[in-house]
Amino acid sequence: MTLEEFREKVRELKNSGKYPVARSYILPALWIAEKNFPAITHEVMKVVAEELGVKPVEVEEVAEFYAMFHTKPKGKYVIRVCTNLSCMLCGGEGILAKFSDLLGISPGETTEDGLFTLEVSECMGLCDGAPAVTVNEERFLKVTSEKVPEILRKFGWKG
């Protein structure tokens, strides 16, 4: 998506009249950006602010606050491993370590080929399936170390 195409999408969103105040469109606009750009850069935030008629700092605050938004370039697939209480008690830390070992990266890093970004997640509301992992929008529940290579292969890992 080009910046101009993105601008048009944000304009359409605003014109939908779904919400009473302009600020309410910041989150959905950032979701469009998250799905279509490697990172929500300052240029992207500027477009959101201009089209919604809000201050750039308001957009930046939202983009920086939520962990699901990436203001730095991310991989094609973002792997999020929950290590909060339920997941931790069910082995979440070990699952994170397994992803880290197989991919050769630490949490917060992206593989050299740009395929995977590994992240630690706060509770994702999937505690009944602990330990939980998401890859982009796909969920994996009751993940075991043995399942980790299988999950990675599904997304093109060649290891």
Q: Which is nearer to ligand FES, 87 or 96 (CB)?
A: 87
CA 71 to CA 60: how far, in whole Å?
Answer: 9
When asked if residue 130 is in the footprint of ligand FES (CB under 6 A), the reply is yes
Find the binder of ligand FES among 36, 41, 71, 86 (CB under 6 A).
86
- Residues 85-103 as b/e (b if ≥16 CB within 10 A, e otherwise) read ebbeebbbebbbebbbebb
Give the nearest distance from C-beta 63 to ligand FES in angstroms: 23
When asked if residue 96 is in the footprint of ligand FES (CB under 6 A), the reply is no
Is 90 part of any known ligand binding site?
Answer: no
Per-residue DSSP letter, 121: E
CA 143 to CA 107: how far, in whole Å?
Answer: 18
Q: Which is nearer to ligand FES, 45 or 83 (CB)?
A: 83
Give the nearest distance from C-beta 116 to ligand FES in angstroms: 20
Hey, how many other C-beta atoms are within 10 angstroms of the C-beta on 108? 10
CA 30 to CA 83: how far, in whole Å?
Answer: 26
Find the binder of ligand FES among 32, 97, 127, 135 (CB under 6 A).
127
When asked if residue 82 is in the footprint of ligand FES (CB under 6 A), the reply is yes
When asked if residue 126 is in the footprint of ligand FES (CB under 6 A), the reply is yes
CB of 83 closer than 8 Å to CB of 93: yes
Residues contributing to the site for ligand FES (CB under 6 A): 82, 84-87, 123-124, 126-127, 130, 132
